[in-house]
Structure 1
Amino acid sequence: MKGQHTVVIPENPVSRFLFSDTRSAFIWLVIRLYVGYAWLKAGWGKVQSDAWTGENAGAAIQGFVQGSLAKSQEGADVAGWYATFLESTVLPNAKLFAFAVAYGELLVGLGLVFGLLTGIAAFFGALMNVSFLFAGTLSTNPLLFILATWLVLAWKVAGWYGLDRWALPKLGTPWKTKEKS
Structure 2
Amino acid sequence: MRGYGGRSYGLDEPRSLRDRAQQYALLPLRIFLGVTFVYAGLDKLTDSAFLSASGTGSLGEMMTAVRDSAAVPGLVDLALKSPEGFGYAIATGELLVGLGTLAGLWTRLAALGGALISLSLWLTVSWRTEPYYYGNDLVYLVAWLPLLLAGAPCWSLDALRPGRRRGRI
TM-score scaled to structure 1, two decimals?
A: 0.68
Report the CA distance shift for 1:105/1:168 in structure 2 as closer, same or farther (over 3 A): farther
Tell me which of 140, 151, 168 is aligned to 1:144.
Answer: 140
Match of 1:85 in 2: 75
Instruction: Verify the 8 A CA contact 1:117 1:159 in the aligned structure 2.
Output: no
* Cα deviation digits, residues 47-91 of structure 1 (max 9, x gap): 1111345xx4x4422122112114x2xxxxx22xx113322x211
Per-residue deviation at 1:169? 2.8
Tell me which of 146, 158, 165 is aligned to 1:164.
Answer: 158
Per-residue deviation at 1:122? 0.7
- Give runs of aligned pairs for residues 43-82 of structure 1, distance below 5 A: 43-52=41-50, 56=52, 58-59=53-54, 60-70=58-68, 72=69, 78-79=70-71, 82=72
Structure 1: give runs of 5+ residues left out of the alignment. 1-16, 73-77, 177-181
* Structure 1 consecutive aligned stretches of length 4 or more whose deviation exceeds 3 Å: 17-23
Match of 1:129 in 2: 118
Q: Which has the higher contact order (CA 8 A, sep 6+)?
A: 1
Structure 2: give runs of 5+ residues left out of the alignment. 8-18, 130-134
Matched positions, count: 143
- Give runs of aligned pairs for residues 5-24 of structure 1, distance below 5 A: 20=6, 23=20, 24=22
Match of 2:102 in 1: 113
Instruction: Verify the 8 A CA contact 1:19 1:153 in the aligned structure 2.
Output: no
Match of 1:39 in 2: 37
Which residue identity is paired with 1:96?
G
Query: What's the C-alpha RMSD, in Å, of the aligned pairs?
Result: 2.7
- The structure in which a higher percent of residues are helix is 1
Output the CA distance in 1 between the equivalents of 2:6 and 2:29.
Answer: 16
